[in-house]
Amino acid sequence: MKKIVYYMPKIMIENSSEDAKNFLKLVGKNASAIDRTGSFLLPFDTHIIWQLPAQIDDGDSHAMFYFEMLNRARTLMQSGRPLVLFYSGGLDSTGLLVAFNYLIQSEGFSRDQITIATSIDAMYENPLCWWEVMLKFNIVDVHDCLNNIDFNQSYYIMGENADQLFGSDKMFQLPRIASMLLHGELNTENLTTYIHSINITPSDSFMSSLHLLISKAPFKIQKMSDLLWWINFTCKWQSVSLRTLCFTKTFNSGLEISPHQLRSFETFYNTPKFQQISMLKSFARFSENPNDNSYKFALRVFIEKMHPSWHEYLAVKTKVGSLYNIVRRRHYEIQKMFWDDTTSLYSAS
């Protein structure tokens, strides 16, 4: 039996119920939203590839995050396979790049194992990283790379899923209520204001699903910013994990791929440990004074520890839709992506 793992929202939800349409508005109108908690149901069968991991005890989340950044990079280097790192210039891809660069310098891994797939836009977004780190590696054009994916030869690693670890860019897309989303308590008034601001007229069943989702959080959600994180973390994880694959020619001519091949095209931050750290109440999504300059604070701390001279850049860096500069020039190859229970293969249409 085929089950959907990724879909184009406009095609799949256009004639669905208002609750399904409102679920997309809640998660993001262009997201292939699939709720990993099962609180919001879709009008078609779905398969969750990356289940929510078990919770771990709270502790020093900065240290945990630092360790997992290096452990993730080390594990990929130890595979011995060629690694292709996608670099956009944003915080997420900068974090993974400096992790690999640190291991090469400190643990003796070969720089020749890594190729960077990027575009000139990355130089303008992060010139410090471009001149100090990027030019030490072999560099290829990101579009040429996406046109010639070989799952059996290389690992392809993207800096995606960090948004899901740290929060949601919706906090910065609604200027009129941005302060409330960043600092406000989760209460009926603020929740109603937010829902109406994203053009949702909720039914009782929609609100019941939303409250069920909130009740399944790993800690009691008391702030609006934590609510937006939890929605993003649970309902957009799979969409973000797979979306870059949908701009490749992977499924042309009816090709099917195995789970092993799919794991050759991964986001750096898609590990159970990163998710477990994100589920800790103490995790530093922001500094003590939340604003768009301190978003992804734990990642900023990690990068600055690797490159202290980048302090001023990191102190003012705000979120940019880096992926947009790549995908706006590409054709969307996939309308629906399936998991087949009978063949254990992924396919698309």
Domain CATH for 185: 3.40.50
**92 falls within a domain:** yes
**Cα(346)–Cα(344) distance, integer angstroms:** 7
Query: What's the maximum distance between 2 C-alpha atoms anywhere in the chain?
Result: 59
237-278 residue pLDDT tens: 999 999 889 888 888 777 899 999 999 999 999 999 999 999
Instruction: Report helix, strand or coil for 267.
Output: strand
Best CA proximity match to 275, nearest among 90, 72, 93, 102: 72
| Confidence (pLDDT) at 29 | 83
Provide the domain count of the chain.
Answer: 1
Q: Which tokens belong to 101?
A: 């660069």
> Which residue has tokens 């990163």?
274
174 against 161, higher pLDDT: 161
Containing domain of residue 206, as a range? 56-225+253-331
**26 falls within a domain:** no
**215 falls within a domain:** yes
Indicate if the pLDDT at residue 165 is higher than 70: yes
**285 falls within a domain:** yes
**271 falls within a domain:** yes
**129 falls within a domain:** yes
**Cα(1)–Cα(237) distance, integer angstroms:** 23
Mean pLDDT of the chain: 91
Residue 9 makes CB contacts below 8 A (sequence gap 6+) with 24, 29, 30, 31, 32, 33
**180 falls within a domain:** yes
pLDDT band of 179, cuts 50, 70, 90: confident
Residue 46 is given by DSSP the state: B
Write the burial class of residue 52 (CB in 10 Å: 0-12 exposed, 13-18 middle, 19+ buried): middle
**47 falls within a domain:** no
